[in-house]
Structure 1
Amino acid sequence: MYQPHFTITPGITKALMSIEAARQTILALPIDIDMLASLRETARLVATHYSTQIEGNRLTQAEVHQILAGTHIPGRERDQTEVRNYYRAIEEVERLAQRPDVPGERDVRRLHGLVMHGKATPTPYRDGQNVIREAATGLIIYMPPEAADVPALMADLMAWIQMEMDRDELPAPIIAAIAHYQFATIHPYYDGNGRTARLLTTLLLHNAGYGLKGIYSLDEYYARNLQGYYRALTVGPSHNYYMGRAEADITGFIAYFCEGMADAFAAVRFQADRAATRGAMDQSGVLRRLDPRQRRLWELLRRQGTATSAEIAANLGLSQRTVVGLCRDWVDNGFLEVHDPSRKNRAYRLAHAFDAK
């Protein structure tokens, strides 16, 4: 099985502590539903703009907003298609993140299908060799593994992710960083690898409880220091996968990733704090918007703090399968938060906007 080589340095530990402190603060902020929806949409737009910009998309952030609102810009059809496809893929990530299970290989292939074709149809891996060249000189800077090896390498990577998420020993940001690095290293497609790697990273973080209500994006950090991003991905004694890249020490990339995540979380912490201050809410007004099932669950969670899907099903008199779907929707609209993201014992709590004492 895939075995990454790295060391958890003091710098990585410091970044992880910063990430966790910001995470806890953001989750505790009383952001109302309307403000939460606005922040989420902003995060989707930022992620779409910067992740496609990294791959050469020429649209500005303002133009991305216009395109997704329905505007057509003549002569920029390819850029517009990339933006719409990536936005659909982000929406799919948010949907997949509500499932209790760790994402699998088919999920990743479906995300690539959305990125490249706008359809959630699993795409086949490349059937030939590809290389990454320096734009200015045309020199080969990386030669990925042969096509025949890609399926086994991808299966191995996804099995490693499943194992580490289940074991819950490595911090989730480190698992996400390694997944990002190894996906980019395998380079399983001719095109769309970077965008798919960043979507996989986001999905794993959301799945592990680092979704921050869906109001952040790491893509801006990469895009603003693109050479640093590429340098962090370039490790090992050779540009050839089979000549040291596969066994290289990836501590540097993990440090880069965690520092970027800490930076992004700190920025979101500031933004969310301001939003919470501006959007101080009247609790009674929000509660009036709850339907009868939500009111009943609100009372349960106010009494005991958290509840599993089985407990919620018993309380509402519904099947557990129905409750899983309801809880997914309630997390999406800001009524609930995932308290325990584990597959076997997923539990929920009230979003802080509904939990003011």
Structure 2
Amino acid sequence: MTSPSRMDPQGEPAPWPALTWEEQTWIPSSDRALRPGARTPPTSYRSAVPPFIHDRLPRPSPRVTELAAEAANELSRFDAELGARVSGFAPVLLRSEAASSSQIEDLTASARAIFSAELGIATGQNAELVAANTRALRAALELAESISTASILQMHAVLMASQPRHTPGSWRQEAVWIGTRSDSPQGATFIAPHHSRIRDLMEDLVTFASRGEVPALVSAAVTHAQFETIHPFTDGNGRTGRALVQSMLRHRGVTRNVAVPVSAGLLADVNGYHAALTAYREGDLDPIVVAVAEASLRAVSNARHLVDDIDRIKAAWSSTLTARRDSNAWALLDVIARQPVISAAAAAQEVGVQTPNIYPPLRTLVDAGILKSKREHRIGPFWRSDEVLAAIDAFAERAGRREIT
């Protein structure tokens, strides 16, 4: 694999290269024949040829470089503040990131539906897909020690496990494009590279992502944009690419305890996010770095609001609950704050008791108005905190606004 030098002849970082394009032939499948014995004639189209970037030095403008550094610092500060309380907020923030990333792909579901889907309760396809995205994000963080093609394939395998038609954990072997037609790339706004290029491009990508001299947030933004340009899978590229951002932030030590929901920040301007990806493909780094940096700053503000909301809810619970201090009802308060829809078996495991022994404290919380109970067909009863679920839904609503107050 070869690549242009990262320096120009004067020893300065070279401008970021734009895409080039190559001609391809589109041969419609036989099941799209116009009539028996007749077929749609082959047509030509141009697919992207991304540059190799492993030895290129991204150089955003000074203003954007400063913004990226500020955003990285804010992410680290927020992560450090939650370090002592990570067990209470990491799961909620992880699911908030999964839901926000999915919403960018128009996959929306309420907090109650998402948490219920994780318990196996049928709440709709979207909630199940968001639950799968949560698992993919968890895998991304667990694999953050090494950014590799193997770890990226594993993220995708977890994300798409229930959709075998999209070959979970395997590079695509067919053309993909972004456009209004599903039967042809004609008229598409972007046609990803030919599948024969993916393996080399992905090896190049992870080499770039592993370079420590590139500022962390700049590296994450560029890696994400290059990943989305390669589009290595038939589906799930956006969600996998945003999980990769979380993995890189953990890998570089920007975050150590939580997955700050950066995708929630991107939701404030999805069109701008997509325009930034287009600008990247044309050789302009600034917009995608700005998009990720500003999304990070919005995410921290929004996440602080969510944490404050849950803290207030827990404080109100403490003033409401009159059970003895040695009752497991008190231990359940922390569990419910991070898992606001829960089964008896899950609650018992969290508290460390046998399942029959968890029912009395659950009833105590229901009697105190802290939990509500519902029997689900074929699964049995589960319990939920409408207050925490409302706080998480409010987080999602704020994520769609340009201003967070």
TM-score by length of 1: 0.63
Aligned length: 257
Deviation at 1:276, TM superposition (A): 8.5
Map 1:1-357; keep pairs closer than 5 Å: 1=3, 2-3=52-53, 6-23=58-75, 25-26=77-78, 28-29=80-81, 32-33=84-85, 36-73=86-123, 76=124, 78-97=125-144, 99=145, 102-117=146-161, 123-134=169-180, 139-162=187-210, 164=211, 168-211=212-255, 213-235=257-279, 245=281, 248-268=283-303
Amino acid at match of 1:103: I
How far apart, CA to CA, are the structure 2 residues paired with 1:228 and 1:93?
A: 25
Using CA pairs under 8 Å that are at least 6 residues apart, name the structure with larger relative contact order, 1 or 2: 1
CA separation of 1:154 and 1:27: change in aligned 2, threshold 3 A: closer
Conserved? CA contact 1:106–1:122, under 8 Å: no
Conserved? CA contact 2:153–2:170, under 8 Å: yes
Amino acid at match of 1:254: V
Amino acid at match of 1:110: Q
CA separation of 1:251 and 1:131: change in aligned 2, threshold 3 A: same
Conserved? CA contact 1:130–1:144, under 8 Å: yes
Q: Which has the larger radius of gyration?
A: 2
Deviation at 1:90, TM superposition (A): 1.6
Conserved? CA contact 2:225–2:288, under 8 Å: yes
Deviation at 1:213, TM superposition (A): 1.7
Conserved? CA contact 2:80–2:257, under 8 Å: no
CA separation of 1:251 and 1:195: change in aligned 2, threshold 3 A: same
Gaps of 5+ in 1: 237-244, 281-357
Gaps of 5+ in 2: 4-51, 316-405
Identity among equivalent pairs (%): 23
How far apart, CA to CA, are the structure 2 residues paired with 1:273 and 1:29?
A: 13
How far apart, CA to CA, are the structure 2 residues paired with 1:11 and 1:268?
A: 25
How far apart, CA to CA, are the structure 2 residues paired with 1:58 and 1:22?
A: 28
Deviation at 1:30, TM superposition (A): 7.0
CA separation of 1:19 and 1:210: change in aligned 2, threshold 3 A: same
Deviation at 1:11, TM superposition (A): 3.1
How far apart, CA to CA, are the structure 2 residues paired with 1:276 and 1:88?
A: 26
Conserved? CA contact 2:57–2:214, under 8 Å: no
TM-score by length of 2: 0.56
